[in-house]
Amino acid sequence: MVDLLLKAAFAVPMTGADDVIEDAAVTVRDGRIEFVGRACDLPDTSAASTVDLGHHILMPGLVNAHGHAAMTLLRGLADDADLQSWLREHIWPIEGQFVDASFVRTGTQLAMAEMLRTGTTLFSDMYFFPEETADAAIAAGMRCQIAFPVADFAGRWAASASECLSRGLDLFDRYRDEALVQVAFGPHAVYTVDDAHLKKILTYANELDAPIHIHIQENAAEIDECLKARGERPIATLKRLGLLGPNLQTVHATILNDQDIQDLAEAGASVVHCPHSNLKLGSGIARINDLKAAGVNVAIGTDGAASNNALDMFAETRQANLLSRSGAEGGSSMSAFDTLHMATLGGARALGLEEFTGSLEAGKWADIIAVDTAVPGMTPMFDPISQLVHSTAGRFVTDVWIAGRRCLRAGQLTTLHPGKLREEALHWQALIKGADSH
C-alpha cells in the first residue's frame, strides 16, 4: 500500500523534451516517488490517500536557486536606485538597524508563503541568522539550502569574516540529520571577502564536501573594482584561488567575457541566472545562451524580493526565456523545455541535489506541484511544456507536496498562517518606513 496516489490530466516529469504523460498517476511512499506514468499502467496497489486533480499538470517543484528570503520585508524599498546606491544608501543601513533573529524569521515565513503558493519547493538562501531561515523552513516543511554569509565587514549576525565562518561551521553539525536542510558556504562576493578567507572557505568546503555559493560579476563596476584591487576579473580570482569547481554556484554572472565562460565551463561550475533582479538594478543581461552552448549548467533564482520584487519562479522562468530571444544573450533563443529545465533539474544540479529532486522519477523525493489548466489564462492548451513557460502564472499553482507532505492544498497554505504573517510584516513596515525617510 502506498501513502499517496495523485491523478491528473497531465504530468510533465522533466525527463525529456517530449515527455508529457496524459491521464497521469504518481504514487508516493515514505516521502519518495514510487511510480510515475499513465494511470492505466499503474500496478495494482491501494493508497492511504488519493487526490484526483482533474485538469491539472503535475510537475516537479521549482527550485529557486538564489535568494535572500528575509528581504521580503524590504520589498519595494528604493525601487529606482541602481545597485551601488541601492545597497549603500538604503539596504545596508536599514539592515544594520533592523535585522535580527525575529526579522529573519518573519521575513523568511513571508517568503515561503509566497514561494509555496507559486510552486517553489526548494530555495537557496544567503542571509544573516541562517539558523532562523533553516528552522522556519523545517517548521513549514519546505526544503532549503542555507548558504551562510561570509563578509569582511561587521554585520548583525557576526562581526568579521572569521566569526561568520565559526558560526557557519556549527550549522553543519546542527543540521546534519535534517533532510530538508543543506548547509553551504556563502561568501558574499569577491569584493567583500579577502583572498585569505576565500582560501579558508575552499579548505573547509573540500573537507565537508559542501557547496560554495557566491555573487559574481553582477555589474561592470564590480569588475572594474576587482581589476583595480587585484589586477584580475572576479572569476579569475576564483580560478587562481582554486574555488572554481563543480561545487561552486556562481550567482548573476551578468557581465561575462569569452574567457570567463570558458573558465566556468571547464571547471563544471554552475551559474544562477536572476533575470528580474539584473534588469531592475540595471546590471545587464547574462549571456545564458552562450553559457548553455559552452555546456555550463544554469539555474534560475529570483534574488531577494527587494530587487525583483516577487518570488514567483514561473514569472522568472518566462523572463529568462524572453531575454534569450532579445539578442543580448548571444547564441540562439532557448526552447521552453530548456528554460523549464533551468528552473527544475538545472537548479537541483547546481545545488548538488539532482539525484534527489528536480524531476518526477521513481526514487526521488516527492517534491511535486499541481498547475490548474482549467482557468481562462491557460485555455486552450496545445503544448503543456510551452504553456508552463509562456502562459503559467504562479497563481495557477493549486497544490504543493514536499517529501510527500501537502504544504499547499487547493490554494490554501497548510503550514503557514498568511493573516498573522501580514500583521507581523506590517509592523516591520512601519518601523522601516520611519527609518528610511530620515
C-alpha cell at 62: 521549482
Q: Tell me the helices (H) and strands (E) count for the chain, helix number first.
A: 16, 17
303 or 338, CB closer to Zn ion?
303
Residue 114 binding Zn ion, by CB under 5 A: no
Q: How far is the CB of 312 from Zn ion (least distance, A)?
A: 17
Dihedral of alpha carbons 284, 289, 290, 294, sign: positive
Closest-by-Cβ residue to Zn ion is 303
* β-bridge mates for residue 125, sequence order: 146
- Compute the distance between CA of residue 230 and CA of residue 207 in angstroms, rounded to an integer: 27
Task: Give dist(CA 28, CA 99) in Å, integer.
Answer: 40
User: Per-residue contact track with Zn ion, 400 to 419, x per CB under 5 A?
Assistant: --------------------
Q: Are 51 and 4 in contact (CB under 8 A)?
A: yes
Min. distance of Cβ 304 from Zn ion in angstroms? Answer: 6
Beta strands in 39-141 (DSSP E): 47-52, 56-60, 62-64, 120-125
Minimum Å gap between C-beta 70 and Zn ion is: 12
Question: In what helix (H) or strand (E) does residue 25 lie, and over which residues does it extend?
Answer: strand 21-29
* Cβ at position 67, least distance to Zn ion in Å: 7
Q: For Zn ion, which stretch binds (CB under 5 A), given 42-50, 170-178, 281-289, 301-309?
A: 301-309
Contact segment (CB under 5 A) with Zn ion among 109-117, 165-173, 262-270, 299-307 equals: 299-307
Q: Using only C-alpha atoms, what is the Rg of the chain?
A: 21
Tell me how many residues contact Zn ion (CB under 5 A).
Answer: 1
Q: How many Å apart are CA 431 and CA 436, to the nearest integer?
A: 9
Amino acid at 196: A
CB of 273 to Zn ion, least distance (A): 12
Residue closer to Zn ion, measured from CB, 2 or 150: 150
Q: Which C-beta is closer to Zn ion: that of 25 or that of 122?
A: 122
Is the Cβ of residue 53 or residue 313 nearer to Zn ion in the bound state? 313
Site string for Zn ion, 230-269 (x = CB under 5 A): ----------------------------------------
Q: How far apart are CA 192 and CA 125, in angstroms?
A: 18
Residues 326-385 that bind Zn ion (CB under 5 A): none
Query: For the chain, how far is it from start to end, CA to CA, in angstroms?
Result: 63
CB 217 within 8 A of CB 253: yes
95 binds Zn ion (CB under 5 A): no
By beta-carbon proximity to Zn ion, the closer residue of 59 and 255 is: 255
- C-alpha closest to that of 347 among 249, 255, 212, 275: 249
- The stretch among 133-141, 152-160, 163-171, 303-311 that binds Zn ion (CB under 5 A) is 303-311
For the bound state, the minimum distance from the C-beta of residue 26 to Zn ion, rounded and expressed in Å, comes to 34
Segment interacting with Zn ion (CB under 5 A) among 81-89, 240-248, 298-306, 377-385? 298-306
State yes or no: residue 303 binds Zn ion (CB under 5 A): yes
* Residues of this chain that bind Zn ion (CB under 5 A): 303
